[in-house]
Amino acid sequence: MAHKDSAPHGAQGGHGAPGAHGNAGAHAPAAHDAHAHAHPTWKQYKWVALILTVITAVEVWIYYIPSFVASKLFVPSLLIMSAVKFAIVVMFYMHLKYDHRLFRALFTGPLIIAVVTIISLMFLFGHLAVRLGS
Amino acid sequence: MSASPALDHVEAGAHGHHYTTTGLDNRKIAIWAFIGSECMLFASLISTYLIYKGRSVVGPFPHEVCNPPACATVLKPILNIPVTSASTFVLLMSSLAMVLALAAVENRNLPKHTTSDRILGSSKLWLWATCILGAGFLAFQAYEFTSFVHEGLTIRTNLFGSSFFTLTGFHGAHVTAGVIWLGTLLAIDYKRGLGPADAINVDIAALYWHFVDVVWIAIFTLVYLIQ
């Protein structure tokens, strides 16, 4: 038996109901068939963990390079790495990449509102500024 | 299994999915809606921290040395990046343990021939691992809070202290709730075993746990690393 190589999520027809689908809880067996092959495997989970660890190590490493901290690249690179980690966890560990569109909408909608709120407040309180004209 | 087919149907319904007109399980819709609302809660807390960042009149400060008269004596930057990096790693590993716990529950009925199969298929092992790693993260946070208080930073000291303790305290409370939730799943697993029929309940707990993890990913960068 290839337990390790099988798709761990939804391999038994999802969350337990025979005929029901594993990833999104959809009724239609056809939906299950269409998505069953797309779940992460054990190896993918381990690779995801490794990538997250490496990115975290890089984040901490650049924190200790004074010349890089002083450069304009420091904050954007940290934000990009953080966003990549965030997206990886949401897509693979939370299975949102394989889940129903409604779940994606329920998460990304409020997330967009949250990010826009943070950016708006940063502008409002003068932590960010847009230079207009020359 | 009861003697009556009708009763069997009722029992199956009691443990089965709760479908909506969308064809999706209502519990899963609810947890995603909850996670969406939590995004906005943490956005407000992170915004507050960022707005007040650099506006404290008295020290200690997160990334800067505090010199008199802002402080009675010269104080080092208070954030301890090595300790927080370790706690971040612990939380990331807890997410790996959580997905393995969910996979073990879903694949409980698959035959396990090798030692590797038995390890990967042990929901108790991975739930314990997640609980212990979550508790380890809380221990790191307790250590950090205690050391901050000893160094003179409390929730009342300055704007940094107020916003920092509120933000990380709320996150810690969420982790605590998650550890308790996982503890209840572990108790059920010991009592009657968690099988594929329970996978939706484990999945919902896992989604909450991963959300707590992604919030920390944001906090670690925005609060600890960006100076």
Query: Per-residue DSSP letters for A30-76?
Result: HHHHHHGGGS--HHHHHHHHHHHHHHHHHHHHHHT-HHHHHSTTHHH
Task: State the smallest CA–CA distance between residue A66 and chain B in angstroms.
Answer: 11
- Provide the pLDDT for residue B19: 66
Shortest CA gap B106–chain A (Å): 6
Which residue is closest to B12 within chain A, CA to CA?
A: A17
Q: Which residue of B has its CA nearest to A120?
A: B47
Write the residue in B15, B89, B226 that is nearest to A78 by C-beta. B226
Residue whose entry in the numeric block shows the structure tokens 């038995």: B118
**Cis amide leading into B69 (omega within 30):** yes
The pLDDT, as a whole number, for residue B63 is 80
Tell whether A97 is within 8 A of chain B (Cβ).
no
Q: Could you tell me the two tokens for B73?
A: 């004596």
Per-chain mean pLDDT for chain A: 76
The span from the CA of A28 to the CA of A49, in Å, is 32
Task: For residue A14, give the nearest of B94, B197, B201, B33 by alpha carbon.
Answer: B197
Average pLDDT over residues A35-39: 49
Q: How far apart are the CA of B102 and the nearest CA of chain A, in angstroms?
A: 8
**Averaged pLDDT, A80-103:** 92
Give the pLDDT confidence score for residue B93 in this predicted structure.
Answer: 95
Range of the domain at B88: 5-225
B68-76 CB contacts, 8 Å cutoff, 24+ apart: B71/B152, B75/B151, B75/B152
For residue A127, what pLDDT is reported? 75
* pLDDT at position A10: 45
Instruction: Determine which of A50, A59, A93, A116 to mutate to test the interface with B (most B C-beta atoms within 10 Å).
Output: A93
**Cβ–Cβ gap A103/B200 under 8 Å:** no
Q: CA of B225: how far to CAs of A106, A121, B64, B79, B197, in Å?
A: 30, 20, 13, 9, 42
pLDDT digits (tens, 9 = 90+) for B48-72: 999 998 888 887 888 878 778 777 7
In the block, residue with structure tokens 């996978």? B199
Low-confidence ranges of chain B (pLDDT < 70): 1-20
pLDDT band at A63 (very low <50, low <70, confident <90, very high): very high
Q: Say which CATH number the domain at B190 has.
A: 1.20.120.80
User: Picking from A22-36, A48-62, B24-38, B167-181, which range would have the lowest pLDDT averaged per residue?
Assistant: A22-36
Q: Does A107 touch chain B (CB under 8 A)?
A: yes
Residue of A nearest to B111 (CA): A1
pLDDT of residue B147: 94
- DSSP secondary-structure letter at A7? -
Cis peptide before A110 (omega within 30 of 0): no
Contact B96 A48 (CB under 8 A): yes
For chain B, how many structural domains are there in total? 1
- Model confidence pLDDT, tens digit, residues A110-123: 999 999 999 999 99
